[in-house]
Amino acid sequence: MLARVALVVSLSFLALALIFEVYLRQAGFLEAQPANYPCIAGDPVLNHVFHPNCQAIASAVALKTAKDVTYKTNSLGYRGHEPARGKKTIVVIGDSYTEGFGLEENETFPSNLERALQDLGAADWQVLNGGTLGFTPALYAKYFDRFFLEIKPELVLLNLDLTDFSDEAYYLQTAEYDSRGFPVAFPGREIFPSWILGYVYSNRSALLRFLHQEANQWSLAGRREEIQPVMDQLIKKTPPLILQDDLKATGMEGCQKSIEAVAKSVFELKRRVESVGGQLVLHMYPPGHLVKQYAALPQNISFVRSWDQKKRRDFTWACGSGQKIVDVIRAMSNRNGILFVDSFPLIMSYPGKEALYFEKDAHWNEAGVKVVTSSVANQIFSLLKRKK
């Protein structure tokens, strides 16, 4: 009798699992999941980095972009050419917009910037690609220490993406902190064992990917309660960089914690850059979702996320995105002697600006990179001439 009941229960569970698998596939849940990105490896401090000396193909279907792309990394572990001796160096640090999501290496922002500067007459300068998918300012100082400290770049251009202001909070929630309450590592916190993760991320089962998502959401919700006081103390440990007057002038008071955390991370990178005699330049630009409408993603199917959002009352670490944040960061930069380059006006007033981004993905396409580079290169070249 018990065996029969167990069999019925097992078959019923299997039937429900198959029904939910079919539902998730019909809803396009898998299509909305991030691509299994080439050449990426987990890292106990930086969360993830590129494999050195890697070459792999990322399909247009996986990236939701126009064409298959070859990803190549150099011996140091980032996209682009090897650092050349005898040349002055600019490092561009940022996330996937810098790295060149969906683009061949010669189409990326750093590659275009190097060619544009050489065309303007800066033939003795090289530009290195310090971009990595999914990075935020919390990671940049440690990333600079590992990959670029010994190179001693004369200039570091930080591409600050508006998505950083929400992603920063996520990284701080998952960070490990030292005894003083400062983040020291950003390890991945996977719930599933490593032996099954390859199968999960290959998107072969919508149900397994969904369960993976929900388990991580549940873990993050629990850790947020534990780590929130640590995060709150982190932004109070040093004098504020973002002034209340700046926030009030733009109506961004509710974003104080988020913007202050990003500002402190930017200044940590600034200290590292200046310690080797370099200069930090800050560049901001609109991501694609501020320029055009994209279809709603079915990856928003999440019971845990819906429950978590209804339960939470403190949204002071949440932050929107737009021109107002740019105004706040510009004011902070001007007060602290950081050259600020703003590509918002250029893109938002550009005729047919929607064509500067991929059709189904919010990153710059090749045309978008060229438009942004043409403006940034002129401003950087002017700075280089003043530095001589």
Q: Could you report the per-residue pLDDT of 163-221, keeping only the tens digit for each? A: 898 889 889 988 999 988 899 999 987 888 878 888 888 888 999 999 999 998 888 88
Beta strands 125-131 and 88-94, pairing class: parallel
Would 9 be classed as within a structural domain? no
Would 301 be classed as within a structural domain? yes
- For residue 71, the one-letter residue type is Y
Would 227 be classed as within a structural domain? yes
Tell me which residue of 152, 171, 174, 30 sits closest to 85, measured CA to CA. 152
Residue 42 token pair: 């987990």
Domain span at 137: 33-387
The number of domains in the chain is 1
Would 311 be classed as within a structural domain? yes
Q: Are the C-beta atoms of residues 280 and 273 closer than 8 Å to each other?
A: yes
Extract the residue ranges of the chain whose pLDDT is less than 50: 315
Q: Check which CATH number belongs to the domain holding 104 and give it.
A: 3.40.50.1110
pTM greater than 0.85: yes
Task: Using alpha carbons only, give the angle 92, 94, 99 rounded to the nearest 5 degrees.
Answer: 80
Would 3 be classed as within a structural domain? no
Mean pLDDT of the chain: 89
Q: What is the pLDDT of residue 226?
A: 84
Segment 11-31, tens digit of pLDDT: 889 999 999 999 999 988 888
Q: What is the pLDDT of residue 258?
A: 87
Would 17 be classed as within a structural domain? no
Would 360 be classed as within a structural domain? yes
Q: What is the pLDDT of residue 379?
A: 95
Q: What is the pLDDT of residue 321?
A: 64
Would 28 be classed as within a structural domain? no
